[in-house]
Structure 1
């Protein structure tokens, strides 16, 4: 359906402009300093409804003819929404509704690319971009548990490269150990990721256990977060 080539009609162009204006208006509220507007479930649901209701038809009218073009289009789409989500999450930390929108967006993107000739590769590339962008944001906002929860959702996606999963967990664990980090959000992410991976890869769990054991051996008073995380593996 999305691969059909057609010249956008005047009605299609008018609709596309109207949608862009609506999204810009909603985004200006979601990213504003107005009290509680950044986490309004009504506004986030409306924004998603606009995308869910109109995005497929607008994409079809844009004349995409190849999967690579589709991937570029979805990549731009995801990047724009990530900017809105992260900006809203900086205005209102631990913004559950903003990150919930991100989850729904990933499902929407999956449905958009479904059936394309390179569906698996397209989703892998899009998830890789989203994982790294989200991970970078989480490291800058390490106490935001909603951001880490979204990252866990991304790396656990069936189409996410397992190497990304292992690398992000390994890097996050080492980062937390180096800083002797004690806030719960980061360790909650690490423990959850380890618990999910434990039944899949003994190699990864052995690596993480070695990191934790080395830290405990080198520290006279081990971080209680480290001790509890090590217990998850053992």
Structure 2
């Protein structure tokens, strides 16, 4: 049986040797007979072992890292930073630990060379990804971690000049993180809210006047495909509408809405989230006739006020379509 000190040291070694890689951390059942399992960047630890490591980390934090002057933070060693990493692994809402990391990064900005500071912020970003892309109970939907990630990204964007292709690449990589978090925790309001907020930050950093259009074009297919793979997720569908709002091209809106409608008709999908997207997008972008043309292909005389159609109205038309053409 491992002691708390041993559990802490095991986790500390893993975080200290992480470099800039993203870990995938999972709580494993004690029946596997091991306190730790590691296969490359995949880490497994039991809940008991994590609790033991946290108790040691918390004690060290208040003994060694609180309070700290700015001079102390300048001289902080890597072995001390893993203390807060273990604390946040156990308790993702530990504001004191998270704020300590912000203070450390702010001190580095004021005292370190630009290249060193840039690396610290990039490493902080991959640490957040290690939490938010791992099958952990609370981290994927933690408001504290998503707010911290946005804070890190905001400073990272101000440290250097970004070209439009670089910003688009960053946006896509952040979207991958959000969608992974959405898969791990369905209806992940916090993750998709982060993506909306990031859009504002990226717009401020972009020099291209057409940035909003370019960024929306860059991610719309990925978002729609994710929603079709997770059709019950209302947070994803709401974000899809948000993305389509930034595209002035009606052709792309028509293509996206048509793809969703045809998918629903082909598989016989009756879920509220998808049809809410159809109703909202059709009304918001003035595409009721487009959806009608797909759902009423035989020229039947079906009249309804387009702007007043709600999701169950469209579902009713879909059921009529299935009754005449077969469900799926």
Q: Considering only aligned residues, what root-mean-square deviation do their CA atoms show, in Å?
A: 2.3
- Corresponding residue number in structure 2 for 1:195: 283
Deviations 1:133-165 (A, max 9, x none): 1111111111111111101000012x5432211
Map of 2:259 onto structure 1 = 171
Aligned residue for 1:37?
139
Instruction: Name the CA distance, whole Å, in 2 between partners of 1:89 and 1:211.
Output: 30
1:191 and 1:229 in contact (8 A); partners too: no
Change (3 A) 1:77 1:36: same
The offset of 1:205, in angstroms, is: 2.4
**How far did 1:81 drift?**
0.5
- Could you tell me which runs of 5 or more consecutive residues in structure 2 were left unpaired when the two chains were aligned: 1-111, 301-311, 320-328
Residue 142 of structure 1 pairs with residue 197 of structure 2: no
Tell me which structure has the larger Cα radius of gyration: 2
Residues 158, 205 of structure 2: 8 Å contact kept: no
Larger relative contact order (C-alpha < 8 A, sep ≥ 6)? 1
Deviation digits for residues 60-117 of structure 1 (CA, Å, limit 9, x no counterpart): 3xxx5xxxxx11110111111011101111111111100111111111111111xx3x
Closer, same or farther in 2 for the Cα pair 1:160/1:104, shift >3 Å? farther
TM-score, length-normalised on structure 1? Answer: 0.77
Does 2:118 match 1:28?
no
Matches within 5 A, 1:3-152: 11-52=113-154, 54-60=155-161, 70-113=163-206, 116=207, 118-120=208-210, 122-152=211-241
Higher percent of residues as helix: 1
Any conservation in 2 of the 1:44–1:97 contact (CA below 8 Å)?
Answer: yes
Aligned counterparts of 1:192 and 1:86: Cα–Cα separation in 2: 22
Question: TM-score by structure 2 length?
Answer: 0.56
- Seen in structure 2, the aligned counterparts of structure 1 residues 224 and 195 have a Cα distance that, compared at 3 Å, is closer
Which residue number in structure 2 is paired with residue 67 of structure 1? Answer: none
Looking at structure 1, the residues matched to 193 and 146 of structure 2 have their Cα atoms a distance apart, in angstroms, of 9
Check 1:160–1:130 CA distance in 2 against 1; reply closer, same or farther (3 A cut).
Answer: farther
Cα 1:215–1:112 change in 2 (3 A) is: farther
The aligned length equals 197
